[in-house]
């Protein structure tokens, strides 16, 4: 038997799970673990903040389907990490978080930087555990990955006390991953759902995050083609169907009436597929309490505006295939769909040549969509720009516009762009940020440069918290405490090694994006935005009558 310590055993267990990267910030209480990585094939990615590490790990997990791993030390390292872990859990991204911890000999009393992380992380994870003895390490690591990767994906947490980490242990074999079972709905449920769908005069589909998570895109599109039912996508379901498809009613999720609201009002049956109500509260779209067929891996959350007639549970691709086999080709009256599509698409097209400066949100999105390829990836941070991107940045494929809409934590875009580029080196990756959200994790520009990742950061600058101002103006007709100062972004981004482009006229944006996409260098674009359009949109939505 070859002696090793628990930290070395834990790293061997991570290798058994196929871990390529661990994102994090080292600390005093995880020095044994950091030393164990030194002789491992796992690459440790040093980040500038623990929250960023969790954002990166979650994004890696979302694209690969394998839990991403992040690490922090105890105390403030662990509490910093928690925001990103909670974000992953609510967005159903697979992630395993590892925290250093005080030794067992001082956990019974008030002690330097010690908090009970098991209890702190319990509400923001699917499962968590502390390694309290050396021999349970393989079981804890295997279970953390198993639970994180089970439907629905989410976050798990391993807490490693420093005295346990350095403890010698006889070589123990890591546990091997096991195959996940495939399940499908009962045939009688399928037949009842088929009868209900065929009787509906105006059925509507609401597509959510689970379609891409379950790799069900092809099955979903085949189902839609056969039944000829129009599709609305949530913010996180974007790309389930191409925006060019005549049955696409684009994206819903912004508050108030919208063109898409007319689709929900028209429907006499709604099929939600891979949808979680955290993506778009039912009270915003199902005001008539239209009957719902819920197609997902788990039962629907209880909600007064989400009246489920049938839960079709199990693997989404298999259940969609079962439905397709039993349904007759669709012959629904979808003449209203083209009118809704035209109004939504005309709104974006009308700003293509807009010359106003600062640049209108619609113009920024029009230029970005025109420059990026179908499989390029835009990642939206949280802020006013998120609402515009969600509503008007139309997609061809899933996972080409990432929008966090569970916890919806600011600062997610730049770290996520880094992980996205690591997994998708041949595709352009653009982090779309506000100046408020950028400053929360902007130090990760150094990480991108160090890793030689040519990401593009497109910052919408308005010198304030634009989304909060939008809400204040809607409720009080005035704003308060939302303005702040900004640094010289040209000097700031250049100091991190980014090429910097500052937009001074509306017609400079598209050429700047084209140069950035062609440069294969990290590029920062500082684009002033005219958010007076926010309230104009609010007024416009209020005038829409279905």
Q: Where along the chain do its domains lie? A: 3-170, 187-339, 350-543
Residues 300-305, mean pLDDT to the nearest whole number? 91
Question: Residues near 83 by Cβ (< 8 Å), separated by ≥ 6?
Answer: 51, 54, 407, 409
Q: What is the DSSP string of 501-524?
A: EE--SGGGHHHHHHHHHHH-S-EE
Containing 265, the helix (H) or strand (E) segment is helix 259-266
SS (H, E, C) 233-290: ECHHHCCCCCCCCCCEEEECCCCCCCHHHHHHHHCCEEEEECCCHHHCCHHHCCCCCC
- Kindly state the percentage of the chain with pLDDT values over 90: 79
With residue 500 as reference, give the H or E element that holds it: strand 499-502
What average pLDDT score do residues 244-253 get?
A: 90
Mean pLDDT of 43-55: 98
Average confidence (pLDDT) over 425-435 = 97
Q: Is the dihedral of CA 151, 153, 154, 156 positive or negative?
A: positive
Q: Can you tell me the mean pLDDT for 232-240?
A: 94
Among 361, 401, 367, 363, CA closest to 385:
361
- What CATH fold (topology level) applies to the domain 187-339? Rossmann fold (3.40.50)
pLDDT of residue 88: 98
Tell me if 453 sits within 8 A of 45, measured CB to CB: no
pLDDT per residue over 322-359, tens digit each? 999 999 887 767 777 888 888 888 887 889 999 999 99
pLDDT tens readout for residues 117-151: 999 999 999 999 999 999 999 999 999 999 999 99
Check residue 266 and give left, alpha or beta (phi > 0: left; psi -120 to 50: alpha): alpha
Quote the CATH superfamily of domain 350-543.
Answer: Thiamin diphosphate (ThDP)-binding fold, Pyr/PP domains (3.40.50.970)
User: Is residue 115 predicted with pLDDT exceeding 60?
Assistant: yes
Pick left, alpha or beta for residue 53 (phi over 0 → left; psi -120 to 50 → alpha; otherwise beta).
alpha
pLDDT band at 173 (very low <50, low <70, confident <90, very high): confident
Q: Can you tell me the distance from the alpha carbon of 95 to that of 540, in angstroms, rounded to the nearest whole number?
A: 40
Among 235, 240, 293, residue whose Cα is nearest residue 91? 235
Q: Which helix (H) or strand (E) holds 372?
A: none
Region of poorest pLDDT, from 118-132, 188-202, 409-423, 441-455: 188-202
Do 449 and 421 meet the contact criterion of CB atoms below 8 Å apart? Answer: no
Task: Quick: pLDDT tens for 492-540.
Answer: 999 999 999 999 999 999 999 999 999 999 999 999 999 998 888 877 7
Residue 240 has pLDDT above 50, yes or no: yes
Handedness of CA 69, 157, 209, 187 (dihedral sign): positive
Q: How many CB atoms lie within 10 A of CB 335?
A: 7
Q: What is the pLDDT of residue 546?
A: 47
DSSP letter assigned to residue 529: B
Q: Do residues 243 and 395 make contact, with C-beta atoms less than 8 angstroms apart?
A: yes
Q: Would the CATH topology of 3-170 be identical to that of 350-543?
A: yes
Instruction: Give the mean model confidence (pLDDT) for residues 60-72.
Output: 97
Averaged pLDDT of the chain: 93
User: 3-170, what's its fold?
Assistant: Rossmann fold (3.40.50)
Residues 252, 280: Cα–Cα separation, whole Å: 8
CA pair distance 544, 260, nearest whole angstrom: 10
Quote the percentage of the chain above a pLDDT of 70.
97
Per-residue pLDDT, averaged over 313-321, amounts to: 96
Nearest to residue 113, comparing CAs of 81, 75, 77?
A: 75
- Residue 343 is predicted with a pLDDT of 81
Pairing, β 168-170 against β 3-5: antiparallel
Q: What is the pLDDT of residue 181?
A: 77
Q: Give 431 or 260, the one with higher predicted confidence.
A: 431
In 3-state terms, what secondary structure has residue 99? strand
Which of 46-55, 104-113, 183-192, 400-409 has the least mean pLDDT?
Answer: 104-113
- pLDDT of the residue at 110: 79
| CA dist., res. 122 & res. 55, Å (int) | 19
pLDDT band of residue 255 (cuts 50, 70, 90) is low
**Residue 269 pLDDT greater than 90, yes or no:** yes
pLDDT at 257: 66
pLDDT of residue 3: 77
How much is the average pLDDT of 411-439? 98
Q: Return the pLDDT at 514.
A: 98
239 neighbors 395 (Cβ within 8 angstroms): yes
Q: Which residue has the higher pLDDT, 488 or 287?
A: 488
């Amino acid at each position: 038997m070859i002696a090793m310590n628990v930290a070395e055993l834990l790293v061997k267990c991570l290798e058994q799970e196929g871990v390529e990267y661990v994102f994090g910030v080292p600390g005093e209480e995880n020095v044994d673990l950091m030393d164990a990585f030194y002789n491992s094939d796992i690459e440790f990615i040093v980040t500038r903040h623990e929250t960023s590490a969790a954002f990166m790990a979650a994004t890696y997990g979302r694209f690969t389907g394998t839990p991403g791993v992040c690490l922090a030390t105890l105390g403030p390292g662990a509490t910093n990490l928690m925001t990103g872990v909670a974000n992953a859990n609510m967005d159903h991204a697979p992630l395993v978080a590892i925290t250093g911890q005080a030794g067992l000999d001082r956990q019974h009393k008030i002690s330097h930087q010690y908090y009970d992380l098991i209890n702190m992380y319990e509400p923001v994870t699917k499962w968590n555990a502390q390694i309290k003895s050396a021999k349970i390490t393989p079981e804890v690591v295997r279970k953390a990955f198993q639970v994180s990767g089970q439907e629905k994906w989410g976050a798990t947490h391993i807490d490693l006390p420093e005295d346990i980490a350095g403890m010698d242990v006889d070589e123990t074999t890591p546990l091997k991953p096991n195959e996940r079972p495939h399940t499908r709905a009962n045939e009688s449920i399928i037949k009842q759902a088929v009868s209900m769908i065929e009787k509906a005069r105006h059925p509507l589909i609401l597509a959510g995050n689970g379609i891409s998570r379950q790799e069900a895109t092809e099955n979903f599109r085949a189902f839609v083609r056969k039944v000829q039912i129009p599709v609305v996508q949530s913010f996180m379901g974007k790309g389930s169907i191409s925006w060019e498809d005549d049955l696409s009613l684009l994206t819903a999720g912004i508050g108030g009436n919208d063109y898409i609201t007319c689709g929900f009002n028209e429907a006499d049956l709604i099929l939600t597929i891979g949808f979680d109500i955290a993506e778009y509260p039912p009270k915003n779209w199902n005001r008539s309490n239209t009957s719902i067929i819920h197609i997902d891996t788990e039962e629907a959350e209880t909600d007064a505006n989400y009246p489920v007639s049938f839960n079709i549970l199990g693997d989404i691709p298999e259940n969609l295939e079962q439905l397709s086999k039993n349904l007759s080709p669709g012959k629904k009256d979808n003449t209203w769909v083209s009118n809704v599509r035209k109004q939504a698409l005309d709104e974006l097209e009308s700003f293509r040549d807009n010359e106003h400066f600062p640049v209108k949100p619609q113009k920024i999105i029009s230029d970005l969509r025109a420059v990026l390829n179908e499989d390029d990836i835009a990642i939206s941070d949280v802020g006013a720009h998120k609402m515009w991107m969600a509503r008007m940045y139309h997609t061809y494929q899933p996972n080409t516009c990432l929008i966090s809409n569970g916890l919806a934590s600011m600062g997610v875009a730049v770290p996520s762009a880094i992980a996205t580029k690591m997994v998708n080196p041949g595709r352009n990756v653009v982090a779309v940020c506000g100046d408020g959200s950028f400053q929360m994790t902007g130090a990760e520009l150094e990480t991108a440069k160090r890793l030689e990742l040519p990401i593009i950061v497109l910052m919408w600058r308005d010198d304030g918290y634009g989304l909060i101002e939008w809400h204040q103006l809607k409720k009080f007709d005035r704003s308060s405490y939302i303005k702040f100062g900004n640094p010289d972004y040209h000097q700031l981004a250049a100091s991190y090694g980014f090429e910097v482009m500052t937009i001074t006229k509306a017609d400079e944006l598209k050429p700047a994006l084209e140069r950035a996409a062609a440069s294969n260098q990290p590029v920062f674009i500082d684009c002033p935005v005219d958010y007076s359009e926010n309230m104009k949109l609010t007024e416009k939505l209020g005038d829409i009558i279905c």
